[in-house]
Amino acid sequence: MATHPLDKDIEELAASARAALVREIEESGALADDPAWKEAFAAVPRHLFVPYYYVAGPGGYERRWGESPDPRVRESWVTGAYEDVPLATRLRDGELLSSSSQPSLMALMLAALRVSEGDRVLEIGAGTGYNAALLSYRLGDERVTTVDLDPEITEAARRHLAAAGYHPAVVTGDGARGVPERAPFDRIIATCQLASVPRAWLAQCRPGARILTPLATGLVVLTVRDAAHAEGNFLQTPAFFVPLRGADRPGSEPVPLGGVPQRARTSDLFRFLLALTRRTLDPQEAYALWEREGGPGRERYGVTVGGEQAWAWLDEPEGPYAWPLP
């Protein structure tokens, strides 16, 4: 990054903003399952991973740039980098291709991963490299692999990581296929939305490994039994991510909701059920189930991968409510 007269002030501002972000993350309860991640968020400078980003405004997207000649823009850039919000980092024809996720959601996901010293972790979706840096700080560069299909994204992630002093393995490839040459893994974490759980991930995990991935506007955490079997529940929190490219994209076309009461139409939990069961249930059937079960929270749902089949379920893997996944 180019040198500016106010660079020292910018670094001081970044340090102050980072400390405030860590306090906000801690107060949100995101680190309750693993407070040790607090040190990583305090140490890794997020602004080095977002040298520019886009903020939506009334006239379209505004670009904030760390090398702007205007000191006010640079100040806005660095303070914005430490807000607890997702940051759009790559657009193409108006479509969001890559982003830096909301830090408190990242913290919650990392805590739910339940890493231990010595674990080898695969991240699906390199993004800016920030999440890989947090993992590298906690586990060491040699135990972290991050993969993305887009060579521009992986090259930028390498630069950002190097600028921050981290050197995990950054691989250009289809995340749905995993990274077999770096296997076996103890943990897999995806930072992009999928329609189902790729079998290749299970095959590259050690027995007892943990997989955390976005699915149907939620986050499911699976425990791997062996190369063909895994099972686990969703976390309570909602999650919305850019779809994984190179694999089947989750359905995004609008679902007609005629006949469904307004309170269900506007319910995040009902829409989660719709997204999870869209291959099996129509909206009226989903609504009847939702009403009958008292509007169940995400934590009552789960996913099982068994051999050639994968299915989502409510309360129990064997039913009575179970729906096939792609």
Q: What are the pLDDT digits (tens) for 51-89?
A: 999 988 787 788 899 999 998 999 999 999 999 999 999
Q: What is the predicted pLDDT for the residue at 90?
A: 84
Mean pLDDT value of segment 164-191: 97
Cβ neighbours for 208, distance < 8 A, ≥ 6 positions apart: 186, 223, 224
Please write down the HEC assignment for all residues of 191-222: CCEECCCCHHHHHCEEEEEEEEEEECCEEEEE
CA distances 248 to 29, 75, 81, 174, 186, Å, are 33, 40, 32, 12, 25
Residue 100 — left, alpha, or beta (φ > 0 → left; ψ -120 to 50 → alpha)? beta
Mean pLDDT value of segment 109-116: 97
Residue type, 61: Y
Q: How many CB atoms lie within 10 A of CB 17?
A: 18
Q: What is the predicted pLDDT for the residue at 93?
A: 74
* Single pTM value for the model: 0.92
How far is Cα 163 from Cα 237, in angstroms, rounded to an integer?
32
Query: Is 252 labeled as catalytic in the residue annotation?
Result: no
Helix (H, G, I), strand (E, B) or coil at 97: strand
Element (H, E) at 19: helix 7-28
* CA-closest candidate to residue 20, choices 210, 306, 88, 12: 12
Q: What is the predicted pLDDT for the residue at 246?
A: 56
Q: What percent of the chain has pLDDT over 90?
A: 79
Q: Is the pLDDT of residue 249 over 70?
A: no
Cβ 257 vs Cβ 271: under 8 Å: no
16, 98, 252, 267: the active-site residue: 98
pLDDT band for 147, please (50, 70, 90 cuts).
very high
Max CA separation in the chain (angstroms):
66
CA distances 163 to 73, 280, 288, Å, are 21, 48, 53
CATH 3.40.50.150 in the chain: give the residue spans.
7-233
The torsion angles phi and psi of 234, rounded to 5 degrees, stand at -80, 150
Mean pLDDT, the chain, integer: 92
CA angle 280, 281, 287 (to 5 degrees): 160
Question: What are the pLDDT digits (tens) for 278-306?
Answer: 889 999 999 999 999 999 999 999 999 99
Tokens of 37: 């991640």
Q: What is the predicted pLDDT for the residue at 319?
A: 82
Topology of the domain comprising 7-233: Rossmann fold (3.40.50)
Tokens of 102: 């909301």
